[in-house]
Amino acid sequence: MRTFDLSAQPLRELNQALHTIDDGSNDTAFEVLNPRGSHAVAVGIDASVSVDVRGSVGYYCAGMNAEATVTVHGNAGPGVAENMMSGTVIVKGDASQYAGATGHGGLLVVEGNASSRCGISMKGIDIVVKGSIGHMSAFMAQAGNLVVLGDAGDALGDSLYEASLFVRGSVKSLGADCIAKEMRPEHIERLSGLLEKAGISDVQPEEFTRYGSARQLYNFDIDNADAY
């Protein structure tokens, strides 16, 4: 395992090492010490490696991740796993605003709470939050799944497209064009798989409510102008 101590080494050195991994390299595991809230830690990885960050991070940790498994043993600032393509990002603590924003694929797990705009404009990513999420989460979410074991804040799923939202707790309010939907067998199966991937075994998929788009705002209609 290669170790980088950000109290003694520049962040650029870590990210450069993660960006220059050759096929067949023995460098498959990395440990990051003393991140001390640094921004853009472990961004832009495009290799099947594991990165353990021992502490809390600032903005955009693991942004644009592809194939790698990045674990933050602490809290994460805004935009963790932003524009993620594949792989797995795990936050052991809480995540700030717009976690998983615009993510195209992969799995983001937040073991604590996530703040506002979690999953905004998600495009295929799967997000599992073991705690609660803030307001405007899944705003304009286009594809993928957002699973919340706790509660959701105001305007959940505002202007939602075809992403699926599963909330176990209460929802303060739904956004424009977001409605509760029937939980069919295929949704139970999908949710079971997501819970299993996130390492959750003490919660049943039947305890969740599914939310999705009412499909009334796909095209502009003057009669719906107040809803936009």
Would you list the domain boundaries of the chain?
Answer: 2-217
pLDDT of residue 220: 64
pTM of the shown model:
0.94
Whole-number pLDDT of residue 228: 57
For domain 2-217, the question of CATH label 2.160.20.60 is answered with: yes
pLDDT at 223: 72
d(CA 146, CA 191): 10
- Measure Cα distances from 131 to 108, 128, 158 in Å: 13, 9, 20
Give me the average pLDDT of each 10-residue run along the chain (228 residues): 96 95 82 97 96 98 97 98 98 98 98 98 98 98 98 97 97 96 97 97 96 83 67
Angle, alpha carbons 87-83-1 (nearest 5°) = 40
**pLDDT score recorded for residue 224:** 65
d(CA 165, CA 90): 19
Quick one: pLDDT at residue 198?
97
